[in-house]
A = this chain, B = another copy of it.
Amino acid sequence: MKKKWISAISGLAVGVLASAVFFGDFSPKQPTSTASAKTNAEKVYVPFGKKDEYYLFASGGHSGQLFVYGVPSLRRIRTVPVFSLDSATGYGWDEHSKKMLGGYTWGDLHHPAFSETNGEYDGKYLFATDVANSRAAVLDLKTFTVKDIISVPNTSGPHCAAFVTENTEYLFLPTRFAVPLGNKYESLDDYSTKYRGVMSAVTFDEKAQKLHIAYQVALPPWSYDLSDAGKKISKDWAVITTYNTEEATTNLEINASKEDRDFIVLFNWKELEKMVKEGKYDIVDGQKVIFPEKQKGGIYLVPVAKSPHGVDVTPDGKRFIASGKLAPLLTVFSFEKAFKAIENKDFAGERNGIPILKYESVVEREVNPENALGPLHTQFDDKGMAYTTMFISSEVVKWDPNTGEVLDRVPVQYSPGHSVAAEGDTVSPDGKYLVSLNKLAKDSYLSVGPSHPESMQLIDISGKMEVIQSAPVDPEPHYGQMIKADKIKTINVYPKDESNPDAVYNQKDARIVRKGNEVHVYGIAMRSKFIFDAKAKRPDVIEVNEGDKVFVHLTNIDRDEDITHGFAINRYNLNIEVQPGQTNTVEFVADKAGTYPIYCTNFCSALHQEMTGYLLVKPKQ
Main secondary structure of the interface of A (DSSP, over half): loop
A573 at the interface (CB under 8 A from B): yes
Contacts of A19 in B (CB 8 A): 9, 12-13, 15-16
In whole angstroms, how far apart are the Cα atoms of A1 and B107 in the complex?
51
A582 at the interface (CB under 8 A from B): yes
Contact B179 A597 (CB under 8 A): yes
Pick the contact of A30: B8, B30, B252 (CB < 8 A): B8
Using a CB-CB cutoff of 8 Å, which residues 556-611 of chain A contact chain B? 561-562, 564, 566, 568, 570-571, 573, 575, 577, 579-582, 592-597, 599, 601-603, 606-607, 609-611
In whole angstroms, how far apart are the Cα atoms of A272 and B145 in the complex?
50
Contact A68 B573 (CB under 8 A): no
Contacts of A614 in B (CB 8 A): 188, 249
Contact B439 A603 (CB under 8 A): yes
Contact A183 B596 (CB under 8 A): yes
A216 at the interface (CB under 8 A from B): no
Contacts A474-B88, A597-B179, A618-B185; A573 near B103 (Cβ below 8 A): yes
Contact with B along A77-101 (1 / 0, CB 8 A): 1111000111111000000000000
In whole angstroms, how far apart are the Cα atoms of A606 and B376 in the complex?
10
A55 at the interface (CB under 8 A from B): yes
Interface centre among A89, A326, A611 (most CB of B within 10 A): A89
Contact B249 A184 (CB under 8 A): no
Contacts of A44 in B (CB 8 A): 41, 45
Contacts of A413 in B (CB 8 A): 48
Contact A87 B63 (CB under 8 A): yes
Contacts of A209 in B (CB 8 A): none
Instruction: Pick from A314-322, A377-385, A420-428, A441-449 the stretch touching chain B.
Output: A441-449
Distance to closest chain B CB from A584 (angstroms): 12
Contact B256 A104 (CB under 8 A): no
A177 at the interface (CB under 8 A from B): yes
In whole angstroms, how far apart are the Cα atoms of A494 and B326 in the complex?
31
Contact B446 A52 (CB under 8 A): yes
Instruction: Pick from A162-170, A355-363, A483-491 the stretch touching chain B.
Output: A483-491
Contact A156 B575 (CB under 8 A): no
In whole angstroms, how far apart are the Cα atoms of A183 and B571 in the complex?
10
Smallest CB-CB A-B distances: 7 pairs:
A87-B106, A41-B45, A177-B597, A250-B538, A63-B88, A12-B19, A252-B610
